[in-house]
């Protein structure tokens, strides 16, 4: 399978899974951060595709099974408290045809407390630990995850320490342990 060219992922997703593409961001392209863009939502890299959170599983399967992007390299979370937005970023690689990456961004325009995304762990075992980390550090919930438990913090720890609104004083984080 051939590698995707810049911007081609959006077109392929639109054709194969039209309900998956989040049209609010369909025409967004990268632009430099300037004073005139202050307060605007973060811009996308040209080859990014934005999909609805509930469609990440079929999108990931299309990338793997049809387009040849067979390696889920990482899942990360970006917290934009000014916009009340949590963004999950999935990076897939095509290991057969050369390793060019495809970023699939899932933007969730809900409060971080209601950030719920289907798990890729049942069909992508490599997603297991990364989803647990997203849960532990940011509070992203993956309802069908086989073992959604804290991976770094202890079970009694309250809160999500990588969120930008997590209480911090000086170089010490403050938190409440237990009930």
Mark residue 84 as left, alpha or beta (left: phi above 0; alpha: psi -120 to 50; beta: remaining): left
> Does residue 179 fall inside a structural domain?
no
Reply yes or no on whether the pLDDT at 32 is more than 60: no
Whole-angstrom distance, CA of residue 15 vs CA of residue 75: 25
CATH no. for residue 70? 3.30.460.80
Q: Which domain holds residue 56?
A: 8-28+43-173
pTM over 0.75: yes
> Does residue 33 fall inside a structural domain?
no
> Does residue 118 fall inside a structural domain?
yes
> Does residue 36 fall inside a structural domain?
no
Mean pLDDT of the chain: 79
Q: Please, are residues 36 and 61 in contact by the beta-carbon 8 Å criterion?
A: no
Q: Please, are residues 85 and 140 in contact by the beta-carbon 8 Å criterion?
A: no
Q: What angle do CA 58, 62, 68 make, to 5 degrees?
A: 150
In total, how many domains does the chain have? 1
> Does residue 153 fall inside a structural domain?
yes
* Per-residue three-class SS string for 25-81: HCCCCCCCCCHHHCCCCCCCCCCCEEECHHHHHHHHHHHHHCCCCCEEEEEEEEEEH
> Does residue 127 fall inside a structural domain?
yes
Q: Which helix (H) or strand (E) covers residue 13, if one does? A: helix 8-16
Higher pLDDT pick, 37 / 104: 104
Torsion sign over Cα 16, 11, 69, 88: negative
> Does residue 105 fall inside a structural domain?
yes
pLDDT digits (tens, 9 = 90+) for 56-113: 999 999 999 998 888 898 999 988 888 788 888 888 888 877 655 555 666 665 677 7
Whole-angstrom distance, CA of residue 54 vs CA of residue 48: 18
The pLDDT-based confidence of 120 (bands split at 50, 70, 90) is: very high
> Does residue 49 fall inside a structural domain?
yes
pLDDT digits (tens, 9 = 90+) for 144-176: 999 999 999 999 988 899 998 888 766 666 665
């Amino acid at each position: 399978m051939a590698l995707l060219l810049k911007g081609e992922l959006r077109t392929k997703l639109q054709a194969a899974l039209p309900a998956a593409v989040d049209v609010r961001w369909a025409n967004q392209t990268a632009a430099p951060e300037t004073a005139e863009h202050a307060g605007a939502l973060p811009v996308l890299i040209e080859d990014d595709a934005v999909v609805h959170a509930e469609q990440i599983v079929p999108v990931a399967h299309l990338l793997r099974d049809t387009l040849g992007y067979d390696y889920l390299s990482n899942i990360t979370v970006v917290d934009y408290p000014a916009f009340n937005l949590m963004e999950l970023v999935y990076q897939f690689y095509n290991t057969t045809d050369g390793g060019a990456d495809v970023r699939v961004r899932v933007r969730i325009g809900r409060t971080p407390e209601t950030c719920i995304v289907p798990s890729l762990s049942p069909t992508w075992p490599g997603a297991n630990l990364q989803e647990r980390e997203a849960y532990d550090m940011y509070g992203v919930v993956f309802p069908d995850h086989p073992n959604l438990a804290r991976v770094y913090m202890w079970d009694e720890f309250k809160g999500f320490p990588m969120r930008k609104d997590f209480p911090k004083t000086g170089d010490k984080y403050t938190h409440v342990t237990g009930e």
